[in-house]
Structure 1
Amino acid sequence: MLRDVAVLALQGAHAFELGVFCEVFGIDRSDDALPVYDFALVSGTGDSVPTRHGFEVRTRHGLERLASADLICVPAYDPHVRQPDGLVEELRAAVERGARVLSICTGAFLLGDAGLLDGRRCTTHWRYADELARRHPRARVESDVLYVDEDPVITGAGTAAGIDTCLHLVRKEHGSTVANAIARRMVAPPHRDGGQRQYRERPLPQDGTGSLAPVLTWIEANLDQDLTVEAMARHAHLSPRTFARHFRRETGTTPLQWLTGQRVLLARHHLETTDEPVAVVAHRTGFGSVDNLRHHFARRLGTTPQAYRRTFGGLPGSG
């Protein structure tokens, strides 16, 4: 169980990514019956550390604090800036004893320096993916995803994707009810499908087609219905081919993949917050049959609906 979180304050750290870790794991939300972590900012000197923005972060803990952490978080930083001696050894030792490491953006370079990306899928900000692959050729760098979970090594893409990455781990440890509650407190979306491809620089569409937000809202309100690409396209007043093209451009995924992801999220919510039979959950979420629900749960979560309910049912906020 995730209890002890240490966040590295690296020389040249980026304030936003450092702040994401502090926001997700460092705030006491016990007033909402949410988990409270033993949280610490850690530096190689146990003193102040200069960030890339011209101010310093003062810490009270040195690298020895990493020895007790269940999770070590690595923010974005300038990967050309030398970090304290012994840090990569501490990261390797932490993983060997069973701790997780989680990086955002260029924080993946430090995990690579520690050899923790070798043979593993990983990601970073799309602007630095090629450089990460050159510096760490044994890493399997994926540039079109928001995060990669190769437990115990979790890597997130750039900047705001750090929120997605942290909430993913919270969801994995505590269930979607807790992750959604933290997201609401942060005024952030609890889950985003798609990947980084949608955020890369590209020419604006020339056909004047507007956002698909209205049709996405309609889909979310009708997940229990028999939704085909043709039905979605009709609602968007587009041909199926044009709709699919615009959908991938705006979300980074296909209509059916996005639909399945939303149905799995809804099923998780029902399993956590109700005692409805799994067959009823399958019907309410549009999967139709228990077998179909089990199939998609196994593919997306590596578990069964029944096992998920045993683990996460009855969490704070459940009805």
Structure 2
Amino acid sequence: MTKFNEMTKFRVLTIMIFTTILISCNSEKSKNNLDKENLNQKEIESDTLTKHLKPFKSELPTIGLLMYNGVLQSEVIATSDVFAKPTESGKQIFNVITIAETEKPITTEEGIKILPDFTFENCPKLTALFVPSAYDMYAQVHNEKIVNFIKEKNKETEYVVSNCAGAQLIGKSGIADGHKIVTWIGGGEQLQKDYPNLKVQNDSLVTFVEDGKFSSSNGNLASYISALNLLEKMTSSEHKKFVESYLYLDRIQNWKN
């Protein structure tokens, strides 16, 4: 009887060990399959993302988009919309970067968060600097770091563009004294009082103005005008027309209620 019990115990033990090994192997196999699936998914996601990313190429002209909390996102998006478009053959012709005082995400007036590419400290050399606006410019105009950044970048840039109340930062910096400038509709009178050395244009009549290396617009969607004007100067009228068609601007211009 004892021998029978021992044999029974041995068989049960053998079955348990075999079952444990089998379950372990299946679990490991499932884990490996899951890992492979996750890896393949990551590769797919990576390919989808990297296909659209435009690398920074030091040999290309660099367009810098200044940002700060409360910025009107349309004035950042408009410029990136225009300059990030490739040629008709698909060739990248500009670096388009965002710049802020710190590496922290910028929250736009509309609530969208944007992570800047560079800070004031590590910003590369710029060909053009675009200065956008906010509904309340007090904090920006009284921020010496922002004003000094504009002053320093003006020394190396070929073009400086302001949109809407970004003109206040241009006025504060003094870089465009003696030059024509326009701001948001209704803001010209105060701009002229605050910065008498600027030649402020009548914003009720003027949407965009260019004077030397400086240009400006009323802002918001009019920011496309300042961007497209500079794009044509830096490329050609043919490329400008291609970008306009890419953006369906003709549909907007011809749209009726």
How far is 1:139 from its partner? 0.8
Structure of higher RCO (CA pairs closer than 8 Å, 6+ residues apart): 2
* Separation (CA, whole Å) in 2 of partners of 1:103 and 1:189: 25
2:92 and 2:212 map into 1 onto residues whose CA distance is 21
Deviations 1:70-100 (A, max 9, x none): 1111112131223654222221222223432
Amino acid at match of 1:130: E
1:188 aligns with 2:257: no
Shift of 1:11: 1.9
1:114 matched to 2:177: no
Of 56, 59, 64, 1:6 maps to 64
Task: Name 2:214's counterpart in structure 1.
Answer: 153
Q: Deviations over 1:271-291 (max 9, x none)?
A: xxxxxxxxxxxxxxxxxxxxx
Count the aligned residue pairs: 191
Equivalent position of 1:53 in the other structure: 110
Q: SS at the partner of 1:154?
A: strand
Once residues 18 and 159 of structure 1 are traced to their aligned partners in structure 2, the CA distance between those partners, rounded to angstroms, is 9
- Equivalent residue, structure 2, for 1:208: none
Counterpart check, 1:93 vs 2:172: no
- 1:203-260 alpha-carbon deviations (Å, 9 max, x no partner): xxxxxxxxxx9xxxxxxxxxxxxxxxxxxxxxxxxxxxxxxxxxxxxxxxxxxxxxxx
Return the offset for 1:180.
Answer: 0.7
2:250 and 2:207 map into 1 onto residues whose CA distance is: 13
Question: Residue 89 and residue 99 in structure 1: after superposition, are their counterparts in 2 closer, same or farther (change >3 A)?
Answer: farther
* Distance (Å, rounded) in 1 between the aligned partners of 2:133 and 2:168: 9
Q: Distance in 1 between matches of 2:122 and 2:163?
A: 20
Where do 5+ consecutive residues of structure 1 fail to align? 193-212, 214-319
* Residue segments in structure 2 that go unaligned for 5+ positions in a row: 1-58
Q: Secondary structure at the match of 1:81?
A: helix
2:129 corresponding residue in structure 1: 72
Alpha-carbon shift at residue 30 of structure 1 (Å): 4.1
Task: Name the CA distance, whole Å, in 2 between partners of 1:127 and 1:2.
Answer: 38
Equivalence for 1:138: 197
Q: Which residue of 2 aligns with 1:38?
A: 95
- AA in 2 matched with 1:49: I
CA–CA separation in structure 2 for the residues paired with 1:126 and 1:51: 21
Letter paired with 1:164:
I
Secondary structure, aligned partner of 1:86? helix
Helix, strand or coil: the match of 1:183?
helix
TM-score normalised to the size of structure 2? 0.67
Distance between the aligned counterparts of 1:189 and 1:64, measured in 2? 40
SS of 1:160's equivalent in the other structure is helix
User: Hey, what's the Cα distance between the residues in 1 that align with 2:60 and 2:214?
Assistant: 14
**Cα distance change on mapping 1:65 and 1:185 into 2, 3 Å:** farther
What TM-score, normalized to structure 1?
0.55
- RMSD between aligned residues: 2.4
Q: Which has the larger radius of gyration?
A: 2
